[in-house]
Amino acid sequence: MKKAAIASTLAICVGLCVATFVVLIKPLTVYAATCTAQCQTGSVSCTGDECSATDGVGCKYTTGGKVKEKKCDIAEELEIQ
């Protein structure tokens, strides 16, 4: 029983070391898109996985699989149903 516990602990440690080495050698890169729409009273910025902006209107963006938008006249986030 003790040998099995030691062996499984050793296997977990080796697996974690290999995973850490892989992440250090080739780190994951995550890109985010940023858009800015010019409004009469300033500007509205959106950041997400994808985005598009229209001056005077606002911007739409996708984050976490949900499409959201920020409008120039109401500078608050609205979730598109």
Q: What's the pLDDT tens digit per position in 18-55?
A: 878 777 787 666 678 899 999 887 888 998 889 999 99
pLDDT at 41: 79
Number of domains in the chain: 1
pLDDT at 9: 85
pLDDT at 74: 63
Assess if residue 22 is contained within a domain: no
Name the average pLDDT for the chain: 81
Q: For residue 43, what are the domain limits?
A: 33-79
Assess if residue 19 is contained within a domain: no
Using CA atoms, how far apart are residues 4 and 16, in angstroms rounded to an integer? Answer: 18
- pLDDT at 77 > cutoff 50: no
The percent of residues in the chain predicted with pLDDT above 70, rounded, is: 85
CA dihedral 26, 61, 45, 79 (to 10 degrees): -130
